[in-house]
Chain A
């Protein structure tokens, strides 16, 4: 069974700092990997999707990398802003048994201090 771990569980940084969020998974035979953002009391917002054949994806100040062989992904946020404060969730997509399902990590809660 796929297991997804996100470290650290919480992170506090000053505004303007570049930061990296980590995600690891136990089964490297994945279909793809998605990063989401969740604001308090709200639903999830899709940030980036990396296919298993890709090494990275970029969207604005966000860059996600994928190293399938080592079972790791990172989300890099450049020049952090207070508006980036949220919980970031990593989800691994598997297509075993003929169906696609996401396995989520527990998230990293990010606080960006003005």
Chain B
């Protein structure tokens, strides 16, 4: 039981490049979330999903897109990376909408 895993762990992009971050969970959770963590800002919700095939915007969705084609996977895409998207990205999942959230180890992204 791996819990929540994230791929890749580290990535460096140039401005304008695109990439996809993958989150996978093996706990059969319905709800999945993408957060970013920046120094002095705390964690902020980017997008979330309440089940397979659904997505919704969080607090800071601009510049990101997401997809949940399979229940166990939640993908975060950056179509045209900007230096302001340099951050640590965390994925989380939960059984219920108010339940305990289980986090992945994070992806450290640097955009030059």
Interface residues of A (CB under 8 A from B): 4, 31-32, 34, 36, 41-46, 49, 51, 89, 91, 93, 95, 99-102, 104-107
Contact = CB atoms under 8 A, between A and B. Distances in A.
A44 B103 CA distance: 6
Contacts of A49: 99-100
B40 A34 contact: no
Given A46-B100, A91-B43, A95-B98, 18 more contacts: A4-B42, A34-B101, A36-B103, A42-B106, A43-B103, A43-B105, A44-B90, A44-B103, A89-B42, A89-B43, A93-B98, A99-B48, A99-B97, A100-B98, A101-B59, A102-B101, A106-B40, A107-B42
A24 B107 CA distance: 29
B56 interface: yes
| Chain A interface helix/strand/loop/mixed | strand
Nearest to A107: B42
Contacts of A102: 43, 45, 101
Contacts of A95: 97-98
A46 B43 contact: no
Interface of B: 4, 40-45, 48, 50, 56, 58-59, 90, 92, 97-106
B98 A104 contact: no
26 contacts: A32-B98, A36-B103, A41-B106, A42-B105, A43-B90, A43-B103, A44-B101, A45-B103, A46-B100, A46-B103, A49-B100, A51-B98, A89-B42, A89-B43, A93-B98, A99-B48, A99-B50, A99-B56, A99-B97, A100-B98, A101-B59, A104-B42, A105-B42, A106-B40, A106-B42, A107-B42
B97 A100 contact: yes
Nearest to A6: B42
Nearest to B99: A49
Contacts of B50: 99
Nearest to B3: A43
